[in-house]
Amino acid sequence: GQQLNQSPQSMFIQEGEDVSMNCTSSSIFNTWLWYKQEPGEGPVLLIALYKAGELTSNGRLTAQFGITRKDSFLNISASIPSDVGIYFCAGTINNAGNMLTFGGGTRLMVKP
Amino acid sequence: DSGVTQTPKHLITATGQRVTLRCSPRSGDLSVYWYQQSLDQGLQFLIQYYNGEERAKGNILERFSAQQFPDLHSELNLSSLELGDSALYFCASSVRTGKSHWDAEAFFGQGTRLTVV
C-alpha cells in the first residue's frame, strides 16, 4: 500500500530552537495533515493542507503542501517544552473514503 | 477535548475472547473511522462508516467487524483475539458529506488500549 516516509524519526533540541520535519511519498496526495500525539492521548489535528504549494500557519507552526503533491513539511519556530510529543504527517489519496495514511512519526524532545 | 468519545479507555482480555469498542463521534459528524496503533505498524486505517454505511476498508482482519448505528455511534468488534491484537484503537470522526476532500480533517478520540494476555 501507500507509504509516507517521515523524517527525522526523533529530534532532541534546546528550547528556543526552530524545528523542521518532513514527509515524502512516491504517490500523489490530495491532502496533507499534520497531527501531534502526546502520551495517553489521541492525535490532535494541527494543520490541514489542500492545495499544492499551499503554506499555512497555526501560531508557531507552519506547514507546506509540496508542489509535486508528494511531500510536505512542518516547521515549529521557537520551540517550548510543551511542544514535546510525536508529530505525524498524514494524507489522503482519493476523495471517496478520506482514510488517512500516516507517516511513522517524529518524536520531538525539548530540553528547557 | 476533540469531542470524540471512546469507551472503555483500557481493556484487558484473554486470547480467544471477543470485545466491543465503542465510539461516539463529534456532534454532527457523519463519518466515523477506526484506526489501530501498534509499535511495529504505526497508525493503520481499519474501516470507515458514513451515515450508517461502510464507506472504505483498510487492512482490517476478518476477525474484526464494525458498524455504525442510526444515532451515528459506532462499535468495533474484535473476536478470536490474539496476542498480536494488543494495540491502541482509535476512533475518529469528520463532518460534511463524506465525498469531499475537506472531510479529511478527522478528529480523534483518546483511544482504547487493548491488552490481550
Instruction: Say which range, A16-20, A53-57, B104-108, has the weakest mean pLDDT.
Output: B104-108
What proportion of chain B, given as a percentage, has pLDDT over 70? 93
Q: What is the pLDDT of residues B67-87, one digit of tens each?
A: 999 999 999 999 999 999 999
List the single best residue of A99, A101, A102, A107 to mutate versus B (max B Cβ within 10 A).
A99
Please give the mean pLDDT across all residues of chain A. Answer: 92
Three-point CA angle A87, B67, B11, nearest 5°: 60
Nearest CA-CA distance, residue B101 and chain A, Å: 5
The distance in angstroms from the start CA to the end CA of chain B is 31
Nearest to B55 among A97, A101, A102 (CB): A97
Q: What per-residue confidence (pLDDT) applies to B84?
A: 95
The span from the CA of B92 to the CA of B108, in Å, is: 4
Average pLDDT over residues B52-79: 95
- Asked if the model's pLDDT at residue B96 lies above 70, the reply is no
Q: What per-residue confidence (pLDDT) applies to A2?
A: 56
- Residues of chain B contacting residue A52, judged by C-beta atoms under 8 Å apart: none
What proportion of chain B, given as a percentage, has pLDDT over 90? 78
Average pLDDT over residues A6-24: 97
Nearest to A96 among B56, B59, B107 (CB): B56
Q: What is the pLDDT of residues A19-62, one digit of tens each?
A: 999 999 998 998 999 999 999 899 999 999 989 999 999 999 99
- Residues of chain A contacting residue B48, judged by C-beta atoms under 8 Å apart: 97-99
Number of neighbouring beta carbons within 10 Å of residue A68: 12
Instruction: Say which range, B2-11, B63-72, B87-96, has the weakest mean pLDDT.
Output: B87-96
Average pLDDT over residues A72-84: 97
- Asked if the model's pLDDT at residue B63 lies above 90, the reply is yes
Beta strand A10-14 with A55-58 is: unpaired
| E strand or H helix that includes residue A39 | none
Nearest CA-CA distance, residue B24 and chain A, Å: 14
Average pLDDT over residues B31-39: 93
